[in-house]
Amino acid sequence: MVNIRRYENNPVITTADVPPSREDFEVVCAFNAGVTRFGDETLMLIRTAERPAQEDGWIVFPVFNAETGETEVHRLRLDDPDLDVSDPRVIHHGLLRYLTSISHLRLARSKDGLNFTVDAEPAIEPASEYEEFGTEDSRITCIDGVYYIDYVGVSHLGVTTCLAKTTDFVTYERMGMLFCPDNRDVVLFPEKIGGKYAAYHRPAPRAIGTLGMWLAYSPDLIHWGGHQHVIEPRADMWDNCRVGGGAPPIKTDRGWLSVYHGATFDDWYCLGTLLTDLDEPHKVIARSTQPLLKPETDYEMKGFYGHVVFTCGTTLDGDRLRIYYGAADTVMAVAETSLSGLLDDLR
């Protein structure tokens, strides 16, 4: 069994640490951050979910208008017979769907990787019709000195994955859409494989098929093909409903090590490990049978959406692997383990 230790002062980021982007909004979640080392700092791009103040008798929610470039506040009466707000994340209104909040990516910085300060302004926020409900769940991968940030764009058109890049975490260049709806949990590899960029991704088949991880290749980080199936959910296990990429893969002498997430049919999210071939990373060498991390603490069990641990990034210092993860879709936390211990567990 792998020894994993939660930081004693978890969570490291709460909603109280993140100032709202506008005076009439409140921050309801700060979670699922992409993570990287930059100079002598650990940086997180936190998914920051905001909403307007609620009003008696109404559900009040934000939507980005790509034509005006503004985030607008919408209202629906709670006694509307076509309204269903039983899910705290999603508003169902007849055939229409909205999110109860809108997300952007906010930068946080730390010298020790444990104590963070959060920037006052968004780093990446909605900017197109494909992001009208927000920009979410970033992953950061450094390739040849450029930091590539893939993130989820959500709109009434579906769930897409988009890409931006930066060299300084001050200015960001958007590169467009990588995968069309419905596709998410994209993690880029930190180097080319066979002369091409590579990424794990998770398409969401509607008619038939499982919610599993796939591999794709690209000559330019925009056009993707060469798809290969990697893993799928396993019956009667902790990842029996869906699996998806978590943190970007780590290159080791035994293969590519990935910390991924799996969920059950009753929406318990856990983390596990996956080892794949260095030259053909769709070929699985080993996969953890038990969760590396599962919801147990109060901040993992209770929140905006409870019993969830979900990673988008790690940092490696020698043999010490820090796993940064969103807990209960509300806060950011961190746990530490040994890289060699993870690899030994996968023998």
pLDDT of residue 222: 94
pLDDT of residue 197: 98
Answer yes or no: pTM beyond 0.85: yes
CA-CA distance, 322 to 300, in Å (whole number)?
17
Which DSSP letter does residue 301 get? H
Contact 132, 64 (CB under 8 A): yes
pLDDT of residue 347: 81
Q: What is the pLDDT of residues 161-191, one digit of tens each?
A: 999 999 999 999 999 999 999 999 999 999 9
Under-50 pLDDT residues of the chain: none
pLDDT of residue 2: 85
Contact 43, 35 (CB under 8 A): yes
The domains located in the chain, with CATH, are 9-345 (2.115.10.20)
**First and final CA of the chain: distance in angstroms?**
12
Q: What is the pLDDT of residues 210-233, one digit of tens each?
A: 999 999 999 999 999 999 999 999
Q: What is the pLDDT of residues 286-323, one digit of tens each?
A: 999 999 999 999 999 999 999 999 999 999 999 999 99
Q: Specify the DSSP element, H or E, that contains 340.
A: helix 339-345
pLDDT of residue 174: 97
